[in-house]
Structure formats: structure tokens, C-alpha cells
């Protein structure tokens, strides 16, 4: 990961800019550079992944124009070759192509990118700033306005505290120009439903996911893998193992006494022949990490915080004990193929609408979790299930095909990899466990017990009344909200709401986001 920031005003004060910008140096500890364009300030903290030499340092410049980008542009070599007819390149960085592309194609360039990215571009000819973010929001970007109504962009909310009264996420799939946010790609929108039959669909799911993993293995820095032992991360690791000439490095975490998935992660690692590391966390580490995790996340959402503690601690261990810089993860599969609660979807239309909602909001939940937990430890996250071609195809599939009418959730994904020896059947067909449960049921129990000890029933009721937006509804949610407010006072609208099952569906009217409270959880927790 890298950190970018842009203060789009001639009146921007460098010292104020730097105070905010330095808060995310862990995202890019290798080098830092700030330029004053005359119309504002651009800053870049570098984590070197592609083009490791100093020539890959940003901001890149072309004439009087500059760009900073936190991103990975897949297949950039082809674009670079085409542009090389007119432009000279100084580095092997994928992001160096952005200014030439902008000069050739203007804002149409953003729809041309196969990338996960956030960028801020200064057009020196027009004297204006342009910003953009990838269609899923895998790379973070936030914005706010100063007292003079000048816009400020930054990788994280913490960069903007003190510079603006209201911090908001930059909408994925949009670019900003001349005061407007313009959609260039709504990744969840289906223009034409795809009615491929089951076998055809599964064949394409297989091929597109394999391609999505393969392109994310390319890096000049060392690559590792988070392996929970669940279906999604196990498939990513299994595909990567087949494509790699040497054993891949996998990492799993759990509570020492009851981590459901550690044993399954070990089984996967043994089967695919990975160099596997287990990390154990204690109750004290869980509770002592809570405030730090909420601060780095910038959220009060229960699911996100629970699932982030294990991810944060395993990434911390990877940072401290290895020289790995890139981590592949299994996020985004659930939003495409379904959760435990989407088994309750009344019909295909409802399933599709829920999937679209979740994909559009991913940048505030699972994608946010992966970015912050990984980047705060000076690592980069890559998300194969977020491959644009893969997402567009699965979203377009007839939703009736994606409904769980097979007696097994995520049937399409499982069936797609049934052949080829990717995973043991016991892993491929195992019921899903919620990530925050999979690291150990006791972890969530410790958090709940700790929250219960912080408030009497009367205190809980009165303190909840303070909040009109996303009002807490359990002592755990109140605890998280109060910690959030100490770091981001009055900024709750950065998150649209609590991540919860669709309460309008029969069987989903629950007060806890964990799948373990659903009637169909069954063997998931074993």
C-alpha cells in the first residue's frame, strides 16, 4: 500500500498538510515526497511493490502535470508499449503510465484501467485537480472541504481530521472533476443478464478466478497469503500454489483454545505444500488491541471490528517476522456468491438486490478491513475475488442460478473447482464459518463480556440516546461507537450503517451480525 493526499487550494498551508499527511506514513514507509503545484499540494508515501528503484517514486510528472496513485494496474505493460510511441518512461512502475494516458484519453482513461487504485492528478495545463477510485473501492480514498470550500483528498480519514468538518468516502467507480463526482463504472449494475447454464457458468468462474489470482502474483516484492481454512482463502492459495514454482507462504491466526479454522488451514497448507505459519492470539491481546483497531479502521461497525482483530494481529506478525510486502486475501466472495443469511432470500430478485447493495458498500466493510489491517503493517492487499472481469461476470449471472437451491451455499464456486485437485473435498464442501468465529468463538465472547462490564443497563440506554445516526443497539456496539467518537468525533456518516443481515427476510431479524445466530448455521462452527 501507499498513502496519497491532495490539498486542492492555492491557500493550502504546507505545515497543516504535513500534520495530516504524516499520520499514514505506515502505509508507505520506504520514501515520502511532497510537491507544491502552485494550485495546491500533493503528497506520496511509498511502499515499493513494482519498480523498486528510486525512479519509481511519485509524484510522477509530465510537463506541468503531476499524479499520485495508490494502486496496481494489471497488464500495464501493454498500455505502456502503446504509449511508448509518443512518451519516454523512466521507471518500471505501473503508475507512470497515468499521466500519458490522461493526456491521450482524458477522464475516459479510468474506465480503461484493469486496476485497484486511488489517484489524484493535477492537470497543469488547466490548473485543476482530478481524482478517481477503482470500481469496488479496494484502494481507499476520502475527501472533505476546508473552511474556504476547497476540497482535500486523502487515503484515510485520519489524514483529514482537523482539516475538515465532514469526512466522507470517495465513491468507488467515480472520478472527480470541476466540483462533480462522475460515475464511470457501476460494477454492481447488470446491463444484460447472463443465462449461461450451470456447467458453462462454473467453467467461466473457474477460468476467470484463476486469471484473477495469476495476475496478482506479479510483483517485484515478496508475496504471501492469508489462509483462514475457509473456502475463499483456501481457493486463492490453492490456485496460487499451482501457478508457483516454489512453495507459497501462508499464514493463519486463531485463539489458542478454540480456533475453528486453524486445523483446516493446516490441512490446506499440507495438501497444497505451502510454507505455513500459525499465529496465536490471547484474550489480553484481543482486548488490548481494540482501541488501536478501531482507530486504524475508522469504523464502529461490529462485524468489521470483530473480524479485524485477528487480521490485524496476523499482519503485525507478518510485518515483524518476515520480508513479505504483498498479501493475497479471500475477500469479496461472499458478496458475489452469498452469505449464510442469503439462504433466506425469498427469490432471485431479492438475492440480486442484496448482492448489489453489498458490492456497492464493500468499501466501507470487508474491503476497508483488509486495507487497514494490512496497510497499517506496511503491507499491500490484493484481492483476486475483486478482479473486475470476474465480478462483472458473476454479477451478471442469472440470480436464480446463484440462489442456494443445492443444499450447499456458494455451490457455483465449489463446483467450479471440484475438478483439478485444488482442495480436499472436506475443505471444498465444508460449511462456512464467520471469520470472527473462525478465529475462535471465545474471541467474540470476550468482546461481548468486556462490553457488558462497561455499562449498567441504565447507562447503556441513556448513552445510546446520544446518537441519532446509526444508533447503537447492544452494549458491544455502544462500546465501539464511543471509542470511534474519541478518534473521529461527529464523523459517523463515513459508514452507511451497521453491517447486518437483511432483517426484512424471514429468519434474519437478529440483533447480532454473526452468522452463528442464524438457524441455518448448523455445522459451520465445527
Supply the residues annotated as catalytic.
2
Handedness of CA 88, 90, 95, 99 (dihedral sign): negative
Sequence-separated (6 or more) residues with CB below 8 Å from residue 307 = 366, 369, 434, 435, 436
Supply 279's cell numbers.
Answer: 499465529
Residue 117's beta-bridge partner residues?
Answer: 71
What residues have CB less than 8 Å from 183, skipping those under 6 apart? 171, 173, 174
Rounded Cα distance, 298 and 284, in Å: 22
Cell of 450: 468486556
447 grid coordinates: 468482546
| Lookup: cell for 331 | 475477500
Question: If 0-12 CB within 10 Å is exposed, 13-18 middle and 19+ buried, where does residue 519 land?
Answer: exposed
> How big, in percent rounded to 5, are the helix, strand and coil portions of the chain?
45, 15, 35
Would you state the cell numbers that stand for residue 181, as one nine-digit string?
Answer: 463526482
Output phi, psi for 148, to 5 deg.
Answer: -100, 10
The grid coordinates of residue 123 equal: 492537470
Residue bearing cell 493475497: 328
Task: Please confirm whether the linkage preceding 509 is cis (ω < 30° from 0).
Answer: no
User: Which helix (H) or strand (E) is 104 found in, with range?
Assistant: helix 98-105
Instruction: Spell 337-373 as b/e; 16+ CB within 10 A means b.
Output: bbbbbbbbbeeeebbbebbbebbbbbbbbbbbbbbbb
Backbone torsion region of residue 127, taken as left when φ is above 0, otherwise alpha when ψ lies between -120 and 50, otherwise beta: left
Pick the closest to residue 437 from 368, 361, 339 (CA basis): 339
Which DSSP string do the residues of 450-489 spell out, in sequence order? HHHHH--HHHHHHHHTT-SSS---SHHHHHHHHHHHHHST
All cell numbers assigned to 38: 502552485
Cα separation, 183 vs 168, in Å, equals 16
Using the structure block, give the residue that is written with the C-alpha cell 469526512.
167
Amino acid at each position: 500500500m501507499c498513502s496519497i493526499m491532495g490539498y486542492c487550494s492555492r491557500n493550502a498551508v504546507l505545515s497543516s498538510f504535513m500534520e495530516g499527511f504524516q499520520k499514514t506514513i505506515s502505509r508507505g514507509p520506504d520514501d515520502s515526497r511532497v510537491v507544491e503545484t502552485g494550485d495546491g499540494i500533493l503528497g506520496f508515501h511509498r511502499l515499493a511493490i513494482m519498480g523498486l528503484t528510486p525512479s519509481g517514486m511519485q509524484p510522477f510528472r509530465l510537463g506541468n502535470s503531476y499524479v499520485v496513485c495508490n494502486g496496481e494496474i494489471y497488464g500495464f505493460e501493454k498500455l505502456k508499449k502503446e504509449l511508448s510511441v509518443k512518451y519516454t518512461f523512466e521507471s518500471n512502475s505501473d503508475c507512470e503510465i497515468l499521466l500519458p494516458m490522461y493526456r491521450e484519453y482524458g477522464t475516459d482513461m479510468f474506465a480503461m484501467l484493469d486496476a485497484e487504485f486511488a489517484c489524484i492528478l493535477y492537470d497543469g495545463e488547466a490548473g485543476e485537480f482530478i481524482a478517481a477510485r477503482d470500481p469496488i473501492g479496494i484502494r481507499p480514498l476520502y475527501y472533505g472541504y476546508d473552511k474556504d470550500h476547497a476540497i482535500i483528498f486523502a487515503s484515510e480519514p485520519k489524514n483529514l481530521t482537523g482539516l475538515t468538518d465532514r469526512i466522507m468516502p470517495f465513491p468507488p467507480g467515480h472520478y472527480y472533476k470541476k466540483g462533480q463526482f462522475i460515475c464511470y463504472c457501476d460494477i454492481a449494475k447488470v446491463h444484460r443478464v447472463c443465462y449461461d447454464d450451470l456447467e458453462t457458468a462454473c467453467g467461466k468462474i473457474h477460468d476467470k478466478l484463476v486469471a484473477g489470482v495469476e495476475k496478482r502474483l506479479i510483483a517485484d516484492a515478496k508475496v504471501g497469503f492469508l489462509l483462514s481454512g475457509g473456502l475463499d482463502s483456501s481457493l486463492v492459495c490453492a490456485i496460487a500454489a499451482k501457478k508457483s514454482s516454489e512453495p507459497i507462504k501462508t499464514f493463519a491466526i486463531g485463539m489458542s483454545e478454540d480456533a475453528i479454522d486453524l486445523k483446516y488451514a493446516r490441512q490446506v497448507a499440507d495438501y497444497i505444500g505451502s510454507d505455513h505459519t500459525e499465529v496465536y492470539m490471547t484474550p489480553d491481546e484481543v482486548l488490548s488491541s481494540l482501541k488501536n483497531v478501531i482507530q486504524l479502521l475508522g469504523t464502529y461497525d461490529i462485524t468489521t471490528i470483530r473480524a479485524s482483530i485477528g487480521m490485524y494481529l496476523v499482519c503485525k506478525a507478518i510485518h515483524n517476522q518476515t520480508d513479505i510486502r504483498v498479501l493475497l486475501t479471500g475477500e469479496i466472495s461472499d458478496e458475489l456468491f452469498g452469505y449464510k443469511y442469503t439462504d433466506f432470500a425469498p427469490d432471485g430478485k431479492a438475492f440480486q438486490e442484496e448482492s448489489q447493495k453489498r458490492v456497492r458498500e464493500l468499501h466501507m466493510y470487508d474491503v476497508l478491513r483488509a486495507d487497514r489491517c494490512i496497510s497499517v503493517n506496511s503491507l499491500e492487499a490484493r484481492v483476486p475475488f475483486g478482479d473486475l472481469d470476474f465480478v462483472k461476470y458473476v454479477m451478471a449471472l442469472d440470480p436464480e442460478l446463484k440462489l442456494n437451491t443445492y443444499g450447499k451455499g456458494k455451490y457455483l464456486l465449489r463446483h467450479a473447482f471440484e475438478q483439478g485437485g485444488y482442495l480436499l473435498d472436506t475443505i471444498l464442501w465444508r460449511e462456512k464459518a464467520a471469520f470472527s468465529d473462525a478465529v475462535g468463538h471465545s474471541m467474540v465472547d470476550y468482546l461481548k463480556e468486556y462490553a457488558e462490564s462497561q455499562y449498567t443497563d441504565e447507562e447503556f440506554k441513556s448513552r445510546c440516546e446520544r446518537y441519532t445516526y446509526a444508533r447503537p443497539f447492544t452494549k458491544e456496539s455502544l462500546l465501539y461507537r464511543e471509542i470511534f467518537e474519541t478518534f473521529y468525533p461527529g464523523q459517523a456518516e463515513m459508514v452507511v450503517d451497521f453491517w447486518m443481515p437483511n432483517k426484512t427476510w424471514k429468519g434474519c431479524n437478529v440483533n447480532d451480525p454473526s452468522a452463528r445466530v442464524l438457524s441455518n448455521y448448523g455445522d459451520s462452527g465445527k
